[in-house]
Amino acid sequence: MGIQINKMDTTITNNFKSEEYFINMGPQHPATHGVLRLLLTIDGEIIKKVEPDLGYIHRSIEKMCERDSYQQIVHLTDRMDYLSSHINNEAVCLTVENALQLEIPDRVKVIRTIIDELTRIASHTLWWGVMGMDVGALTTYFYGFRDREMINDIFEETCGARLTMNYNIPGGLMYDIHPNFVKRTKEFIAHFKTKLPEYDTLLSGNIIFQKRMKGIGILSKEDAISFGASGPVGRGSGYSCDVRKHHPYSAFDKVTFNEVLKTEGDTFARYQVRILEMWESLSIIEQLIDNIPDGEYKVATNAVIKLPEGEYYEKVETARGELGVYIISTGTKNPYRMKFRSPGFSNLSLLNHIAVGGKIGDLVATMATLDLVIPDIDR
Amino acid sequence: MPEAIASIVEMVLIAVVYLAIFAVAGLYLVLLERRVAAWFQLRLGPNRVGYQGLLQTMADALKLVSKELTVTIKADKFLYNLAPYFVIVTALMALSLFPFSKEFQAFDINIGIFFLTSISSIGVIGILLAGWSSNNKFSLIGAMRSGVQTISYELSVGLSLLTMVVMTGSLQLSQIVEVQKSGWLIVQGHIPAMIAFCIFMIAGTAETNRAPFDLVEAESELGAGFHTEYSGMKFAYFFLAEFINMFIIAAIATTVFFGAYLSPFGITESIPLLGVFWFLAKTLVLVFLMMWFRWTFPRLRIDQLLVLEWKYLLPLNLMNLVLMALMVLLGLTIKF
């Protein structure tokens, strides 16, 4: 590995103008939040070029899927975007269920939607904490984690796990919800409604923060579309790309919510989109939490699921954007080929486009608003 | 004993006492910072080692003393080893000037304020050397930022103190305290003094490289900035110097704006050693203020940092100086 890095460095060094230099940000760097390596070309403090170098946490999840049964694949997807693990599970389950043309009970759909939105809030609170830390406000981290902890406790009670939930199975849910689920979720909503304005007081309203965030990392709507940006990154540039709105799945067609759109396209717009999305998620949960229909929590499937021959694609909106699941089946118990379209990968690809010309501090702030989860990018 | 030797012995003894006191005080500032940070951040902070964690920093210091000192192969060994001493020695030197009480002042020099500002600008050489000699690009960026930042904010520190000197008419710290017997300077000088105080606290925070001006270390951007390659006790010197510098900035503000060891309204003036209590109490309030900054504000970007100094603080400071001069000339100061 060492030899390879040296080779890479020298080739870049030879192309340098005298005043530019090369710096290696990552794979061990506080701002990359994982094992992402950025090869930066810098002129003083100004970024000239950003080259992401991936593969440090590649686990061949797609290849492993070809060997596993469909029930097993669900558990692998937890380990991709670990902050949206429930939504990842759901994506695979939806694909399999649609391929089998299973009729899913309404109870399952509603519970899935509630947990989706709780997951989204959990992911966004963590992002908010880390975002603050990236721009130097260390206290936000603990505020974000305080609120995320309550959601994790709810998950722990119902799913038995806090991060990799494994709650979905093809055909429904692993178990029914815990008797406390509704009560605790309501408690959380009441709690979080008082805490979300605190987020604005502590960070969003801070003049230094706004000066840091506004007008940097600008992504135009056209670029957002051509780079395949999705999720809050796309919506921060005014690109309406919410899968929940355009291709409703589970119970998203039963609830009313706004797709948060900002047209500025800078880091502050992306920041605001996520903050406002948390309000929308709260409203979605509020609409559903009292109306969980009675019924079965799963429908029976065969112990060995065999998808009919063909190609299947399903997409969902994770906390980071559009996650697509593509399965080619030859009619056996394993998929012939499996492909995930991960939101983080496309969002990372535009980093060079929007970070060039900024300072090192801008790069860190911009990267924070892309909300990268590296295992999602590498898989 | 001949007089010369006697005075040298005296100086050495005082130096040893100061070193011992402030090394420990620096350690306890670290503990205070950690507890304050924990309080801001919904945590408990260190509370296990000793009563309420009082021995925590002692344990940490012991750990740092016993750790291996690593040097990178391509570092400039001489400068690399020299750098931490610049930082810590200048920090400790500045401490000798403060009037902790009427009797307790080691070094009452007639150019006191000037000495303080010049000493504090030597400290940056240590940081520059550390970043340069480490032969690490992240360190180098940190060092460059440090140079830019300290040179800029030195002006504001100097000018805001100069504004107050217009009122006292002396640079000697004991004289400055003497003047405040008829009201603390922040009261005597009211509006311009308050402006000067605000500028001093902003510039002072920047001088000590603390958040929101911690670009020199900028954890999320540069890893650890200029001291990335330092380990063990050499790292501890930088760390300790930061806290002592914070104490110094607060102590200067206490001396110049808040009447040093003088009690509010002269309530305990007759009791001899209580001056130390008042001095430390006022200083700690200001130290707490600086910790409050650190745990609340995000970091500025390098260009914003320079814009703040050169476009806002410096012109404001110059105007404030003229305002203060006019006020003193017209006799508009408040005296009790």
Query: What pLDDT, in 10s, does the model give residues B178-224?
Result: 888 887 888 787 888 889 999 999 998 988 888 788 887 777 777 77
pLDDT at A1: 35
What tokens appear for A119 in the block?
């997951």
Domain coordinates in residue numbering, chain B: 1-66, 70-330
Contact A130, A144 (CB under 8 A): yes
Chain A contact present for B297, CB below 8 A: yes
Query: Quick check: B297 and A135 CB within 8 A?
Result: no
Q: Which residues of A touch B40 (CB under 8 A)?
A: 139
How many Å apart are CA B82 and CA A290, to the nearest integer?
Answer: 68
Phi, psi of B74 (to 5 degrees): -95, 10
* B152 CB neighbour count, 10 Å cutoff: 19
pLDDT at A360: 85
- What's the whole-model pTM score? 0.87
Minimum CA–CA partner of A133 in chain B: B220
Contact A120, A281 (CB under 8 A): yes
Same domain (yes/no): A203, A310: yes
Query: Quick check: A212 and B219 CB within 8 A?
Result: no
Q: Is residue A137 part of a domain?
A: yes
Q: Which residues of A touch B143 (CB under 8 A)?
A: none
pLDDT at A7: 42
pLDDT at A15: 56
Query: Quick check: A134 and B220 CB within 8 A?
Result: yes
How many Å apart are CA B84 and CA B107, to the nearest integer?
Answer: 24
Residues A209, A215, A217, A218, CA torsion sign:
positive
3-state helix, strand, coil in chain B (%, to 5): 75, 0, 25
- B125 or B183, which is more confident: B125
Q: pLDDT tens for residues A66-102?
A: 888 888 888 888 888 888 888 999 999 999 988 888 8
Under the banding of pLDDT at 50, 70 and 90, the label for residue A119 is very high
3-state helix, strand, coil in chain A (%, to 5): 50, 10, 35
Q: Which residues of A touch B302 (CB under 8 A)?
A: 45, 359, 361
Same domain (yes/no): A83, A20: no
Q: pLDDT tens for residues B126-139?
A: 888 888 888 888 88
Same domain (yes/no): A46, A192: no
Q: pLDDT tens for residues A236-247?
A: 898 888 888 888
pLDDT at B49 over 80: yes
A→B interface, C-beta within 8 Å: 21, 23, 29-31, 45, 132-139, 141-143, 146, 202-203, 206, 208-209, 211-212, 359-362, 364
Q: Is residue A234 part of a domain?
A: no
pLDDT at A10 over 70: no
pLDDT at A373: 87
Query: Quick check: B221 and A364 CB within 8 A?
Result: yes
Task: Please report, for residues A33, A47, B296, the alpha-carbon distance to residue A38 in angstroms, rounded to integers and kept in the order given.
Answer: 12, 12, 29
List the single residue in A134, A146, A359 with the smallest CB-CB distance to B303: A359
pLDDT at B316: 92
pLDDT at A124: 92
In 3D, which of B272, B234, B266, B283 has the Cα closest to residue B133? B234
- Residue A177 φ/ψ region, left for φ over 0, alpha for ψ in the -120 to 50 degree band, beta for the rest: beta
Q: pLDDT tens for residues A180-210?
A: 889 999 999 999 999 889 888 888 888 888 8
Query: Quick check: A359 and B301 CB within 8 A?
Result: yes
Chain A contact present for B277, CB below 8 A: no
pLDDT at A3: 38
Segment B234-244 mean pLDDT? 86
User: Which range has the worst mean pLDDT, A210-214, A325-329, B70-74, B263-267?
Assistant: B263-267
pLDDT at A14: 53
List the single residue in A23, A202, A208 with the smallest CB-CB distance to B300: A208
Q: pLDDT tens for residues B288-336?
A: 998 888 888 888 888 888 898 899 999 999 999 999 888 888 887 777 7
pLDDT at A5: 43
Task: Indicate the number of domains in chain A.
Answer: 2
pLDDT at A4 over 80: no
Contact A155, A277 (CB under 8 A): no
Q: pLDDT tens for residues A306-361?
A: 888 889 998 999 988 899 999 998 888 888 989 998 898 888 888 888 888 888 88
Phi, psi of A31 (to 5 degrees): -90, -15
Residue-averaged pLDDT of chain B = 85
pLDDT at A11: 46
Query: Quick check: B41 and A142 CB within 8 A?
Result: yes
How many Å apart are CA B178 and CA B259, to the nearest integer?
Answer: 9
CATH of the domain at A89: 1.10.645.10
A68: distance to nearest CA of chain B, Å?
A: 40
Chain A contact present for B311, CB below 8 A: no
**What SS3 class is residue A300?**
coil
List the single residue in A134, A141, A206 with the smallest CB-CB distance to B297: A206
Under the banding of pLDDT at 50, 70 and 90, the label for residue A123 is very high
pLDDT at B160 over 70: yes
Residue at A342: amino acid letter:
S
Contact A325, A343 (CB under 8 A): no
Q: Is residue A102 part of a domain?
A: yes
Contact A239, A229 (CB under 8 A): yes
Chain A contact present for B40, CB below 8 A: yes
In 3D, which of A335, A303, A230, A305 has the Cα closest to residue A273? A230
B73: distance to nearest CA of chain A, Å?
A: 17
Contact A335, A64 (CB under 8 A): no
Contact A114, A285 (CB under 8 A): yes
pLDDT at A9 over 50: no
Query: Quick check: A360 and B296 CB within 8 A?
Result: no
Segment B253-271 mean pLDDT? 79
| Cα-only R_g, chain B | 20
Only one residue has tokens 């603990």, namely A142
Minimum CA–CA partner of B295 in chain A: A139
Which of A41, A135, A149, A367 should we substitute to test contact with B (largest number of B Cβ atoms within 10 Å)? A135
Same domain (yes/no): A162, A196: yes
Q: Is residue A262 part of a domain?
A: no
Query: Quick check: B141 and A212 CB within 8 A?
Result: no
Cα A163 to the center of its chain, rounded Å: 13
Q: Are strands A322-329 and A337-341 parallel, antiparallel or unpaired?
A: antiparallel
Q: Which domain holds residue A322?
A: 61-213+280-378
- Residue B271 φ/ψ region, left for φ over 0, alpha for ψ in the -120 to 50 degree band, beta for the rest: beta
Q: Which residues of A touch B223 (CB under 8 A)?
A: 29-30
Query: Quick check: A135 and B303 CB within 8 A?
Result: no
Q: What is the ipTM of this complex?
A: 0.82
Scan residues 161-200 of B and list those with Cβ closer than 8 Å to A. Answer: none
Chain A contact present for B44, CB below 8 A: no
How many Å apart are CA B159 and CA A155, to the nearest integer?
Answer: 58
Residue-averaged pLDDT of chain A = 86
Q: Is residue A227 part of a domain?
A: no
Phi, psi of A294 (to 5 degrees): -75, 165
Query: Quick check: B298 and A139 CB within 8 A?
Result: no
pLDDT > 70: what percent of chain A? 95
Q: Is residue A241 part of a domain?
A: no
Under the banding of pLDDT at 50, 70 and 90, the label for residue A125 is very high
